[in-house]
Amino acid sequence: MNDQSIAAPAGRKIPDRLDSPAKAAVFSWPSLLLAVAVGIFILNSFASPYFLSPWSLSDATFNFTEKGLIALAMALLIISGEIDLSVAAIIALASTAMGLALQFGVDTPGLVAIGVLTGVLCGMFNGFLVTRLGLPSIVVTIGTMSFFRGISYIVLGDQAFKGYPDSFDFFGQGYVFWVVSFEFAFFLVCALVYYVVLHRTNFGRQIFVIGNNPVAARFSGVRVERVKFILFCLTGLMSGLAAVALTSRLASTRPSIAFAWELEVVTIVVLGGVSILGGSGTIQGVVIAAFIMGLVTFGLGLLNVPGIVMSIFIGALLIGVIALPILISRLRQRMAK
Amino acid sequence: MKRLLRTREIWLGAAVAAIIIATELRAPGFGSLRNLMEVFNNTSILMILALGQMAVILTRSIDLSMASNLALSGMLVALTNAAYPGIPVPVLMLMATGFGLVLGAFNGALVWRLGIPAIVVTLGTLTIFRGLIFVIAGGQWVNADQMTTDFVQYTRIPVLGLPLLSWYAIAIAVGFFVMMTRTSIGRAIYAIGVNPTASVYAGIDVGRTKFLAFCISGALSGFCGYLWVSRYVIGSVEVANGYELTVVAACVIGGISIAGGVGSVAGALLGALFLGVINSALPVINISPFWQMAISGAAIIFAVVLNGRTNKSRGRLILKSAETVK
Amino acid sequence: MSTVNATDMDDARPAAAAGKGPILSLRGITKTFPGVRALNAVSLDLYPGQVTALIGENGAGKSTLVKTLTGIYLPDEGEIVIKGKPVALTSAHDAFERGITAIHQETVLFDELSVAENIFLGHSPRKRWGMIDWKAMHERSKSLLAEMGIGHVAPDTPLKELGIASKHLVAVARAMSIEAEIVIMDEPTASLSHKEIEDLFVLIDMLRQDGKAILFISHKFDEIYRIADRYTVFRDGEMVGEGLLKDASQKQIVRMMVGRAVDQIFPKRETEIGAPVLKVDGLSHPTEFADIGFELRQGEILGFYGLVGAGRSEVMQALFGITRPSAGTITLDGKPVEAKSPADAIDAGIVYVPEERGKQGVVVDLPIFQNVSLPSLRKTSSNGFLQLAEEFRLAREYTERLDLRAASLSQTAGTLSGGNQQKVVIAKWLATRPRVIILDEPTKGIDIGSKAAVHEFMGDLVAGGLSVIMVSSELPEIMGMSDRIIVLREGRIAGVYENDGSLDAETLVSVAADIGEEAAA
């Protein structure tokens, strides 16, 4: 396009970039989301006098930390062009495994290990089906979603595991400092780790390349299957960790635990600006999106809006936040003409 | 490939038959005509939904909002029936279908006009529609005693031994078959799934065709909304919760490719029947119904692995011995 | 076709060429995109019974014109006149209704659908109530295919079971079935073998005899002179010349295309050819190739020639670790190489510039510098953590050596022209400091200016001690650049030739195509 066939003198200099990175950051998706989050925060504080108290803010975080944990790994997976719809079922299976181990007298460290390990194994199973057999992840994980949760149903039926040891309570109910819950602190640490991995390492760069063009990635020496396999394992791992936190918070395991969470997790990721088609997205965006989900749910809860109605706002937010920029740019184009 | 496709459906049919026979051996009576008709009737709604989902999946999209659409449309007609018992049921059926169509058109318009991926749009509308049920019903349920006899009976009246519900499924399946094989819209749905670029050059409007596919899945979801409420005599927020993935599962088992363009009406129906037969067979042979979910999950994985195999064996160029192939 | 009878056929061509006015005329067509004026007040005439060649470098506006003619783009200004009447082509369907059809370079057809449906999609024969009449569709397809001399293709065969040449023929059948009066062929020969091109030309001739107006787009001058009656040249979105081909020499047309005279001279190199670097022995694959053995020496350019489908790319991809060979050994500098993946091959020092640039070469949505640094990330990073400054340094070093034209290194690769994208791919590989670089059709689909740059650069590479394997289907390129030439045929080596000036092109072609004396005569 901007290429002239006539040879020009060699030795031309090509600048690194034209726009400064700071300028790009200001006009980015996370900034827009941050504005939305601040707006909701302000609305919430007007809506209820209780909202601004430290303890209620702390309570608000429980609405999204477990889903947020999974969303971090899911973001990487979706950027690489895959998806895992079985995450909520992995929670169910991991929680069931912990409950089962409990019946055999396993204590807290063992329970945590079993929960996390189950998650990783589930992730490996998904990863194996997708990367080794070359199957589309969306259908594979719809299958494993039924399969994993199905096993929980076989084990538990309409029963529940209860009676987790007191020391196990810490993961979902404990506080590390004042109002800062263990879950929330853990989420922040994980978010930082995922930020570094995705945006500051070779591995993260390879994820973006794979999501944009898996063939060119392979032809450039990226071990595409291995990277994807690792991402499925990570998603399983995070689901296992979320299972530990959630089981501890609820202090029980039912097979219906975390039902339909997969769609909420995907919603957080997409709301966070990750392209569902793969290839782009940021951890900052996902973290802010998780906060937004938590704030909306909690704010509406303060207003005594039932949970099911909140879902209207979440759904509208998901579509609206994506549709709005498209509509605005359309309008601009029309104005320009 | 047509031959191959046909064998795929034959295999699936054989699998369904094998399950029926195996169950009959353990529990005589399961394979009786009366029971099989019962199983068919129980699967009717899933079959209709699978057809609608198929139309969308063929166009390289997915409609995750079908179950919510069903529940919302169902709640709407249930409320209407409770409030105005005088309205004849066929009008209510039309109303459910039309309302579902509008919801589907909303999905379709977002996909068509704004170019938002279908999975994102329907993920959003899935939660929106579900939430709206609570709003329009004010958090209430609609119970059996609030429904008119006609409302409940219009899925139950037997015709030639089969309840009306089954006949709706049969009629829709036949209509769908004709639409997919004999009309331009049906062929356009296949064409844009196989090759969207080529479709544009063949004069097919890709966006509009997708839109129509969403309208179809929406209308069928709406109609199933009435069927569900009438069949299970309940309208509530929880109706068909999570059922969207069962519908997708039926399609996957039926061999409809998630990548678009490949799949048949027979496949979708058999995929649904496969799940339906398993559902009915488990309690009969004294396996806890809690096994159902794991089995359908395993079936999906198995079907996907099988699909992957057949896909891989072709598409490879054999150059050295090209003559033997051609 | 049914309208043609034998007497018409004999002298249809001169009559049409002499008598009739244009069936389609474009006047002052302008089309702009944000930042680019793709077409600037261009005009074009198509005459019935004549083949008009549309010639221009990449980015000259040819594909925009095709999209305008087929109703995909609406022009900003200008008018389209068909049979003397101005028309507006607002959709693909509109264009189709006006009798315009297009056959594209990448066969844009429907793999999963049957041959008959591929021919008739969008205009299927109907029964009552608008129902598609499959029986009539199959019958008409059958007679159409028979008329074209490919009666052995059954109408209900799924298209994906056909080879690429047959797919093109199905596309032609489609054009004939809608009784189009204007047929656009957008690089129809790009991926066909000589034999297949000949078959296609017979069909184009049939269409011409039938009085269709044909717009033929190709990069290959021999084809243009072989089949076309008229030419229209585009440069930078403007029409810069038109006329009868018999009145214009190749040189004149090239001058119009590039705005200056270009002699297709390949750069002379004085390179010392050294010891063997890469040794391949008995390399085989169950289905793609067998018993491939050769040596590549230091500073050598080894050409691989053969028809499309002879297995050249497959052999190269096996060397690069993409496909696994079933037998054979690869040794580089005396050390055995076992490339299980491209990553292994790159580590060993073998790199591959693929033929499908857009799909396999560049990541179009990522910035240039990330494309370049991708295989070298281990070197530019520290302990797995990215160091952007290092990446920029590396990218700048190699892209500037290749004289890349880009506004900045943060620009996405997709915004570059084909030739510049190719430079990004080559820069990416040079940055890994390879021993052997494999170039698969390195100048396919890039403009003449960039072509020359790539050729010149190949000379620099070998001078710098690298060894090059070049796969090419272009005879002038293979003969102009290679030190030795290996001809592949049906997955086996059919001949090895020193390119010392005594080798003639006919030998290569006949060995590649396995043509005996009678065919060559």
pLDDT in tens, A159-208: 999 999 999 999 988 898 888 899 999 999 999 999 999 999 999 999 99
The size of chain C, in residues, is: 521
pLDDT of residue B119: 86
Residue B324 lies in a domain: no
Averaged confidence pLDDT in chain A: 88
How many angstroms separate the first and last alpha carbons of chain B?
15
Whether the pLDDT of residue B313 is over 60: the answer is no
Q: What are the backbone angles phi and psi of residue B290, rounded to the nearest 5°?
A: -70, -10
Whether the pLDDT of residue B304 is over 70: the answer is yes
Whether the pLDDT of residue C267 is over 70: the answer is no
Nearest chain B CA: its distance from A137 CA (Å): 10
DSSP B296: H
pLDDT of residue C521: 34
CATH number at residue B245: 1.10.3470
Nearest chain C CA: its distance from B10 CA (Å): 19
| CA-based nearest residue in chain B for residue A326 | B114
Residue B325 lies in a domain: no
| Interface contact C385-A201, CB threshold 8 A | yes
Give dist(CA C27, CA A90) in Å, integer. 64
The size of chain B, in residues, is: 326
**What ipTM score was computed for the predicted complex, to two decimals?**
0.83
Please tell me the total count of domains within chain A: 1
Start-end of H helices in chain B: 2-26, 33-58, 66-83, 89-114, 118-137, 149-153, 164-182, 184-194, 196-201, 206-232, 243-253, 265-284, 292-313, 322-325
Whether the pLDDT of residue B36 is over 50: the answer is yes
Is some CB atom of chain B closer than 8 A to the CB atom of C114?
Answer: yes
Count how many pairs of residues, chain A against chain B, have C-beta atoms within 8 Å. 152
| Interface contact C366-A13, CB threshold 8 A | no
Q: Find out whether B165 and B231 touch, Cβ atoms under 8 Å.
A: yes
Give dist(CA A146, CA A255) in Å, integer. 12
Residue A335 lies in a domain: no
Chain B neighbors (3+ CB pairs < 8 Å)? A, C
Best A2, A5, A197, A212 member to test C by mutation, with max C CBs in 10 Å, is: A5
Q: What angle do CA C500, C501, C504 make, to 5 degrees?
A: 115
Whether the pLDDT of residue A312 is over 70: the answer is yes
Please tell me the total count of domains within chain B: 1
| Interface contact B1-C160, CB threshold 8 A | yes
How many angstroms separate the first and last alpha carbons of chain C?
32
Nearest chain B CA: its distance from C118 CA (Å): 9
Per-residue pLDDT averaged across A323-330, rounded?
Answer: 82
The pLDDT tens digits for C323-380 are: 888 899 999 999 999 888 999 999 999 999 998 888 888 998 999 999 999 999 988 8
B198 chain-C contacts, CB cut-off 8 A = 108-110
A202, A212, A216 member nearest C377 (Cβ): A202
Best A2, A213, A219 member to test C by mutation, with max C CBs in 10 Å, is: A219
pLDDT of residue C490: 81
Give dist(CA B218, CA B56) in Å, integer. 10
C259, C320, C400 member nearest A14 (Cβ): C400
Per-residue pLDDT averaged across C396-400, rounded?
Answer: 90
HEC secondary structure over A129-157: HHHHCCCCHHHHHHHHHHHHHHHHHHHHC
A142, A150, A266 member nearest B295 (Cβ): A150
Whether the pLDDT of residue C312 is over 80: the answer is yes
Is some CB atom of chain C closer than 8 A to the CB atom of A146?
Answer: no
Give dist(CA C508, CA C305) in Å, integer. 8
Residue A23 lies in a domain: no
| Interface contact A146-B249, CB threshold 8 A | yes
| Interface contact B293-A85, CB threshold 8 A | no
Biggest alpha carbon distance in chain C?
79
Residue percentage of chain C with pLDDT more than 70: 88
Amino acid type, C116 = A
Whether the pLDDT of residue B312 is over 50: the answer is no
Question: Cα–Cα distances in Å, from C189 out to C69, C103, C119, C182?
Answer: 20, 11, 20, 19
| CA-based nearest residue in chain C for residue A21 | C410
Per-residue pLDDT averaged across C411-435, rounded?
Answer: 88
| Interface contact C342-A219, CB threshold 8 A | yes
Going by C-alpha positions, the residue among C63, C50, C375, C518 that lies closest to residue B197 is C63
| Interface contact C110-B320, CB threshold 8 A | no
The pLDDT tens digits for B67-85 are: 999 999 999 999 999 999 9
Going by C-alpha positions, the residue among C227, C229, C230 that lies closest to residue C241 is C230
Residue B35 lies in a domain: yes
Is some CB atom of chain A closer than 8 A to the CB atom of B262?
Answer: no
Residue B157 lies in a domain: yes
CATH number at residue A277: 1.10.3470.10
Residue B29 lies in a domain: yes
Range of the domain at B277: 2-311
Residue A30 lies in a domain: no
Residue B318 lies in a domain: no
Domain extents in chain C? 13-99+180-196+210-263, 274-349+437-521, 362-433
Whether the pLDDT of residue A10 is over 50: the answer is no
Residue A27 lies in a domain: no
* H or E, element range at C318: helix C312-319
Give dist(CA B45, CA B67) in Å, integer. 11
B190 chain-C contacts, CB cut-off 8 A = 110, 112-113
Nearest chain B CA: its distance from A303 CA (Å): 15
Residue B265 lies in a domain: yes
Residue A336 lies in a domain: no
Range of the domain at A70: 55-322
* H or E, element range at A123: helix A108-127
Nearest chain B CA: its distance from A112 CA (Å): 25
C391: three-class secondary structure by DSSP: helix
Whether the pLDDT of residue C271 is over 60: the answer is yes
Is some CB atom of chain A closer than 8 A to the CB atom of B174?
Answer: no
Considering only residues 210 to 269 of chain B, which have any Cβ-Cβ distance to chain C shorter than 8 Å? 261-262
B194, B321, B326 member nearest C110 (Cβ): B194
C131 chain-B contacts, CB cut-off 8 A = 178, 182-183
User: CB within 8 A of C219, min separation 6: which ones?
Assistant: C187, C190, C445
Best B57, B180, B201 member to test C by mutation, with max C CBs in 10 Å, is: B201
Whether the pLDDT of residue C70 is over 90: the answer is no
Is some CB atom of chain C closer than 8 A to the CB atom of A332?
Answer: no
Show the tokens assigned to C352: 């591959």
| Interface contact B321-C287, CB threshold 8 A | yes
- β-partners of residue C234 are C239
CATH match for C274-349+437-521 among 3.40.50.300, 1.10.620.20, 3.40.50.11540, 3.40.50.2300: 3.40.50.300
pLDDT tier at C103, thresholds 50, 70, 90: confident
Residue A5 lies in a domain: no
Is some CB atom of chain C closer than 8 A to the CB atom of A162?
Answer: no
B204 Ramachandran zone, left/alpha/beta (phi>0; psi -120 to 50): beta
Chain A neighbors (3+ CB pairs < 8 Å)? B, C
Show the tokens assigned to B189: 């749905």
Fold designation for C13-99+180-196+210-263: Rossmann fold (3.40.50)
Amino acid type, C280 = V
pLDDT of residue A11: 53
Q: DSSP states of B84-116 as a string?
A: -TTS-HHHHHHHHHHHHHHHHHHHHHHHHHH--
